[in-house]
Chain A
């Protein structure tokens, strides 16, 4: 699922009015029926986090927090069963889960006099029944359970999503007989930086050689991509060469395109579509995934054929629309997107080849949302 930056911006702008509640997802979905829920949630979450970072300082002032607390106290007294805290959070445009934290923090301070420990605070947020004040406990629970961007359950879901996609990725690779080392193995070998996957035998994806794969179960927007580049991708590049990043929930088409000045725009055309498992993921894939390439799903465009004599049982990680944003010598990156790694074995006689000064010496490629073919089968 690739979005143009303009599209992304539009969604982002629209989310500005939303509160991170259960209801907002419905609104988003109604508004953008063509995008998958995960993508929308991921985008909203990213944008909401940015918003929170922007505004958090406003709420994190002692007298403001005190005011919230006092308001909560008075209102909950009046209406003990009403979702007082949730309403308050929405009113001041603060994430309910964060509001819950502030109030609980303040409450515990009242109770114990001192600063409550973080562990206690977190465990109480996780299990509100530990809170002795039942009204507060209910309010807190109401806040954390309704918040779709923050809170222990959301964190857990995010974690789970990340893990699952790593498993999916490993599955995919194993399915294709691609041999790799995963993060844990790398760590035990003493690597200082560990991508999710290092391929023991590199493969080419759409004509680009990749050594490592990083799985990101989120949407790739400019900000997060930039951050990842600085904190992870370049480090991987520095050690292992070019690699691939998968943004499972899509990414911005023009990602990092400031690096590809002078790229012929025609080169950005998709090379072909194919092989998307539409049953499972149709709602996520959107109209871009119509298999329109004449080759059909089982054929590769010429540039990605891989030699079976060289890599028996190995093939090309292939997926659509991969148009690397090359960068001169070193080529950098990116783009990619949608679904499905399909690997094929080509019979291709390998003749002596001139070795070539390769222009795209390295690049990171991104693609998102691999199909979960296994699930449908």
Chain B
């Protein structure tokens, strides 16, 4: 491999030949060239090339995270040549070994190397393993500094470090102290190297491993550079004060003012330690640097003084100079970027080095590029690898290139020196192709030019940053132009998309009411479960960001309690449904990660409205979040609310629930996977303009993207649940692996991935299936990929990936391919996916079979993916923008320019007054809210009808307006041509322009059309029972949606449509010059609208009337029952006492009250059975109190005087009141008054106790009652009879007996009878008597 590259660089082999070889489809084909023993496999050459480039550029790359390629561990160089190439190949082989844990993104703890023999090797070589294992915060921070295979072992210089002292080796002894600081400056973390060590290659010696391991374990280290002298070095004095050698634990990488930028070991906790946005690290900062802003400029000096190691005067002077410039600079610009730790000068390195006035960076200049022809060759090879998908992740490579473009290597070396330094070396592979920033940029620009199509599909903002990049401009103005053009064409704006604002799953009687449950108990348990679930969700939302909050500790008990209740009630299926619905509701949208920003005051944001809200959010993001460039391969994660659901599943650890979830997820997924997306009508299939799709096509696109996003979400959770039992934090040892594989291969997997995949490949539906399968597979545990089924699936995916060369014109459209390539590339970089899988040829056979089958009608050929979807599925593509923006902010600070981070976006308003925005938002929210508690079918119907009507509106416009316009145009054209033999093309243009103007009428027409047609369709499609308001609301929503749909399509396309139509008409006219053209046949309304015409809906039923009815013409303005009750209660309590005389009511007061009671009892509106009964009861009690004299009336005329004043003038007397009461009871509304209370012993006793007046009143009332037929004689008699029969308590009995005897005495039975008779005959007499 090395030999091949060497040969190419030496022009022994033609580049084209190699390129052709790389391009050849034959997988296993080997390239043999001049030297017969060299037969090289592609799988071996590619990783070698990648590593070579990484290594070459390692000096220059100081920005961004490391971009290690996942290189295979297996391929060994089949043959080794001698000399340097031998070493290099060894190196790469070694690196291959080491890369098991090292050369990939390590978010998870590194995989141990496969064999014990390699273990030390791995650790030693790949700082990463050590770093991530020991000190980098795992998981969350993003990238561990994945080092690439250290090429450093061959570096001569070395750094003194603790490890060096532990085992002394001959090599270690060999450096002189004078070299030491040089070594320190130049290298950090390089393995001690002697001549022979190199031969050890990756295996290295134990000491070197140890040292490397230590260094990396410290989280720091760097790597050496080639030094021109090879001289024996001895260990320097161990200096414990040297922060570089003994950095505080967990600190940033070893660094000091004298060290050079290191890229190999990339300290992870960037975000924590430097809030000010620099992606990469630095060596200017002391390890003691804290998160708070470091004292600017002082540290390097401190660092120096701390360093006790000898230092030449010259160097010190240089450093001082540097400090001075720095301070001066700070004074000039207080920009924080001026001290950008990433861009320090490298002073004191070379003895001759000049200190430039601008210590920032050397500005790359095209003229200073060295080895340009070699770079061209390299670029060509590299680009071939990229375009042939030979690299594991296309975007990773692109990212690497961008890093090169924005590299800030700070070589202030004399160019001559540099040149000589590099060219002195005779070995082509040892040349420093990418050491200088000039070369890096040159190379990067070359690659970008070559891969322009890929670049052009990045988002607008990235393109803009790229186009405005001064380096691009200076190296390739042409590329700059193309980028600017592409920027204008790019449509992807990363707009915040809507989230439905309702967060709860609606209760639907159809699925949730009692009849859906086996027992009452289950129903009621579930009722509680639902509330507990939401309670947990709310608590999580409120608190999970708080430091120290722990899901399991806070919610564990609650959730597990709930699970056990679920189990006992057997409600898992219901809960699983709720859980999944909630999951989908909250997490489906692309906007899953925004929770972090949601701390802003909700109301404030609510006021701002849609547009400003988005901007505010973005602004906030920019202000708050440092540019954390994490690279294009983030680990799988559960952003936003997904985290809650994941933690819930974990905490619940309920196997029943998991099973239900799994079943349901599986079913839904497979269902989604089968979803049919219609192919656009063939006529539009020109494909030159992606946006110019038909309306239907847009709808289908939207549907697709919604299906895809949903499937991805579900698949992720299915994967999570399925592999949950097997998750381990560390890669298990080989024995365990084998045992588990043997064990697990016996059982059936939850999802037959291979079948799904091969089916999808066969039916050309990979664009739908692969992205969700990737999500599913990303959840694999360490053993998973070793199982046959998953291994085959991964292999198939790999082959698929290889076949998806982006620049090849196949039936699959570019963005579709791009999405697949992107997600697959991401998958291959995930830690659990074994790296060896990528560079093998073991799956070749599969592809043959698959490739042969062709189903032309698959989804793959439909342009379904747009940039929005691409970015939604692959949010990591935004990393490019971050990287470039970070560069811009850095370089702008340098030039004192303005940092322009905020791209003003104001164009979208389209004349809508901003004041209406919140209004509109509210409207849309109201719509959402409306659908929330309605049956789902309602929404589907509305959406369906809206879509159809909208589409029909467009068709209608096409058939009528456009045709009409074209005809008008034709007439104009003919007239024009006849009248003045004018320039026909000019005429054409002017007519076309006029037509387009008139064409804007289409919007209004379409809206009218939608308004006309929608209601009918809705009416006929919704159930007849739908209530009027629901119906009309649905109609209105439909109208709006349909009009919106139609108008948005029309406004975007009407002009083009008219132009197109006009052009064809124009051509025809020109050709025939006079041949009349009949317009196309008319509008074809769809079935829905047709249906509507057939019949009118009957009006929806009326709400059922209130059962109780008031008397006719009742105005319902009586006092409320409660109010009257309160008054009566007051009256009764006065009667019961204790009271003051002032409190007693007057006659008029009482009559007024009774009038109110009467009114209240008559108006049934507010009455309930309870209050009605109580009210009647109270009137009876009031009567009792009146007849017994317990409630005397107060005369209103005489103040304070208590007078029972029966006949006094106009004042109503007690008997008047009693009569009023009797009248009240007489009414139908009081038929059930508890009149028996008038005859209770208590009442009668009270009456008897009182004076004769009271007795008379009592009799008067009774007579009234009988008179009015409210009571009949028999009833009264039986009451009285009962009274005499009553057995009363002894002491009272006596009294009562006495009293009743007295009654009998005064009113003996006969007398009583006569009395009653008398009452019946004429009450006037009695009244007169009283």
Chain A interfacial positions (CB closer than 8 Å to B): 22, 83, 86, 127-135, 137-138, 141-142, 145-146, 153-154, 156-157, 159-161, 163-164, 167-168, 177-179, 189-193, 198, 200-204, 207, 209, 211, 234-235, 237-242, 259, 262-264, 267, 302-303, 305-307, 309-314, 323-324, 326-331, 348, 350-362, 374-375, 377
Cβ–Cβ < 8 Å partners of A242 in chain B: 502, 929
> Which chain A residue has the least Cβ–Cβ distance from B1184?
A129
* Complex alpha-carbon distance, A264 and B506, angstroms: 31
Can you give 19 contacting A-B residue pairs, CB < 8 Å?
A132-B1288, A146-B1136, A153-B1174, A156-B1125, A160-B1121, A160-B1170, A160-B1174, A179-B1029, A179-B1030, A192-B507, A204-B925, A207-B606, A241-B932, A309-B1040, A310-B1037, A353-B923, A356-B921, A361-B503, A374-B1116
CB-CB contacts of B1015-1054 with A at 8 A, as 1s and 0s? 0000000000001111011001101100010011000000
* Cβ-defined contact, A358 with B603, below 8 A: no
CB-CB contacts of B258-274 with A at 8 A, as 1s and 0s? 00000000000000000
Cβ–Cβ < 8 Å partners of B1170 in chain A: 156, 159-160
Cβ–Cβ < 8 Å partners of B25 in chain A: none
* Cβ-defined contact, A164 with B1120, below 8 A: yes
* Complex alpha-carbon distance, A186 and B1243, angstroms: 46
* Complex alpha-carbon distance, A37 and B499, angstroms: 46
The reply on B530 being an interface residue by CB < 8 A is yes
* Cβ-defined contact, B602 with A239, below 8 A: no
Cβ–Cβ < 8 Å partners of A86 in chain B: 1138
CB-CB contacts of B596-622 with A at 8 A, as 1s and 0s? 001111111111011101100000000
Cβ–Cβ < 8 Å partners of B1116 in chain A: 374
User: Most A CB atoms within 10 A — which of B531, B929, B1027?
Assistant: B929
* Complex alpha-carbon distance, A311 and B1166, angstroms: 29
* Cβ-defined contact, A161 with B1122, below 8 A: yes
The reply on B1129 being an interface residue by CB < 8 A is yes
Within 8 A of A (CB), among B969-985: none
Given A133-B1289, A355-B498, A192 contacting B527 (CB threshold 8 A) = yes
* Complex alpha-carbon distance, A129 and B1244, angstroms: 11
* Cβ-defined contact, A310 with B1040, below 8 A: yes
* Cβ-defined contact, A153 with B1125, below 8 A: yes
A113 CB to closest chain B CB (Å) equals 16
* Cβ-defined contact, B607 with A211, below 8 A: no
Q: Which of A129, A200, A267 sits near B1029, CB closer than 8 Å?
A: A200
B520 CB to closest chain A CB (Å) equals 11
* Complex alpha-carbon distance, A326 and B601, angstroms: 8
* Cβ-defined contact, A164 with B506, below 8 A: no
* Cβ-defined contact, A132 with B1036, below 8 A: no
Q: Which of A138, A142, A202 sits near B930, CB closer than 8 Å?
A: A202
* Cβ-defined contact, B1133 with A145, below 8 A: yes
Within 8 A of A (CB), among B1156-1194: 1165-1166, 1168, 1170-1171, 1174, 1177-1178
> Which chain A residue has the least Cβ–Cβ distance from B1044?
A352
* Closest 6 pairs (CB-CB, A-B): A190-B513, A353-B920, A355-B498, A179-B1029, A358-B501, A359-B602
* Cβ-defined contact, A357 with B933, below 8 A: no
A44 CB to closest chain B CB (Å) equals 14
Cβ–Cβ < 8 Å partners of A22 in chain B: 1130, 1133-1134
* Cβ-defined contact, B541 with A145, below 8 A: no
* Cβ-defined contact, B933 with A240, below 8 A: yes
Contact residues of B: prevailing secondary structure: helix
Cβ–Cβ < 8 Å partners of A241 in chain B: 502-504, 506, 929, 932-933
A300 CB to closest chain B CB (Å) equals 11
Given A129-B1243, A159-B1170, A303-B607, A201 contacting B1030 (CB threshold 8 A) = yes
* Cβ-defined contact, B922 with A351, below 8 A: no
Given A177-B1029, A305-B919, A359-B606, A160 contacting B1125 (CB threshold 8 A) = yes
* Cβ-defined contact, A237 with B534, below 8 A: yes
Cβ–Cβ < 8 Å partners of B1289 in chain A: 132-133
Cβ–Cβ < 8 Å partners of B1122 in chain A: 157, 160-161, 164
* Complex alpha-carbon distance, A156 and B1121, angstroms: 10
The reply on B420 being an interface residue by CB < 8 A is no
Cβ–Cβ < 8 Å partners of A264 in chain B: 601, 603-604
Cβ–Cβ < 8 Å partners of B920 in chain A: 350-354
Interface size class of B (residues with CB under 8 A): 35 or more
Cβ–Cβ < 8 Å partners of B496 in chain A: 357
* Given A127-B1234, A377-B1117, 5 extra CB contacts under 8 A: A132-B1241, A234-B538, A235-B530, A330-B541, A374-B1116
* Cβ-defined contact, A310 with B932, below 8 A: no
* Complex alpha-carbon distance, A86 and B1137, angstroms: 10
Within 8 A of A (CB), among B473-496: 496
B620 CB to closest chain A CB (Å) equals 13
User: Most B CB atoms within 10 A — which of A240, A356, A360?
Assistant: A356
* Complex alpha-carbon distance, A178 and B505, angstroms: 23
Cβ–Cβ < 8 Å partners of B847 in chain A: none
* Cβ-defined contact, B1166 with A163, below 8 A: yes
A373 CB to closest chain B CB (Å) equals 12
CB-CB contacts of B1045-1084 with A at 8 A, as 1s and 0s? 0011000000000000000000000000000000000000
* Complex alpha-carbon distance, A164 and B611, angstroms: 45
* Complex alpha-carbon distance, A163 and B1106, angstroms: 14
Q: Which of A164, A302, A324 sits near B1166, CB closer than 8 Å?
A: A164
Cβ–Cβ < 8 Å partners of A209 in chain B: 501, 922, 925-926, 929
* Complex alpha-carbon distance, A160 and B1178, angstroms: 14
* Complex alpha-carbon distance, A339 and B716, angstroms: 50
Cβ–Cβ < 8 Å partners of B504 in chain A: 237-241, 362
* Cβ-defined contact, A329 with B611, below 8 A: no
The reply on B892 being an interface residue by CB < 8 A is no
B1104 CB to closest chain A CB (Å) equals 9
Within 8 A of A (CB), among B88-135: none
Cβ–Cβ < 8 Å partners of B605 in chain A: 359
The interface-forming segment of B754-762, B831-839, B910-918 is B910-918
Cβ–Cβ < 8 Å partners of A167 in chain B: 1165-1166
B933 CB to closest chain A CB (Å) equals 5
A19 CB to closest chain B CB (Å) equals 13
* Complex alpha-carbon distance, A263 and B607, angstroms: 13
* Cβ-defined contact, A311 with B1136, below 8 A: no
> Which chain A residue has the least Cβ–Cβ distance from B1033?
A201
Cβ–Cβ < 8 Å partners of B498 in chain A: 354-357
Cβ–Cβ < 8 Å partners of A234 in chain B: 531, 534-535, 538
The reply on B802 being an interface residue by CB < 8 A is no
* Cβ-defined contact, A191 with B509, below 8 A: yes
B698 CB to closest chain A CB (Å) equals 15
> Which chain A residue has the least Cβ–Cβ distance from B516?
A190
Given A128-B1242, A358-B921, A83 contacting B1129 (CB threshold 8 A) = no
The reply on B1126 being an interface residue by CB < 8 A is yes
The reply on B1240 being an interface residue by CB < 8 A is yes
B701 CB to closest chain A CB (Å) equals 18
Given A192-B523, A350-B923, A129 contacting B1240 (CB threshold 8 A) = yes
* Cβ-defined contact, B506 with A240, below 8 A: yes
Q: Which of B1032, B1047, B1171 sits near A312, CB closer than 8 Å?
A: B1032
* Complex alpha-carbon distance, A355 and B927, angstroms: 10
The reply on B324 being an interface residue by CB < 8 A is no
Cβ–Cβ < 8 Å partners of B1033 in chain A: 201, 310-311, 314
* Cβ-defined contact, B921 with A354, below 8 A: yes
* Cβ-defined contact, A164 with B541, below 8 A: no
Q: Which of B515, B531, B922 sits near A207, CB closer than 8 Å?
A: B922
The reply on B924 being an interface residue by CB < 8 A is yes
Cβ–Cβ < 8 Å partners of A83 in chain B: 1137-1138
The reply on B786 being an interface residue by CB < 8 A is no
> Which chain B residue has the least Cβ–Cβ distance from A231?
B531
A186 CB to closest chain B CB (Å) equals 9
B508 CB to closest chain A CB (Å) equals 9
> Which chain B residue has the least Cβ–Cβ distance from A41?
B1126
* Cβ-defined contact, A352 with B610, below 8 A: no
CB-CB contacts of B1215-1230 with A at 8 A, as 1s and 0s? 0000000000000000
Cβ–Cβ < 8 Å partners of A312 in chain B: 1032, 1036
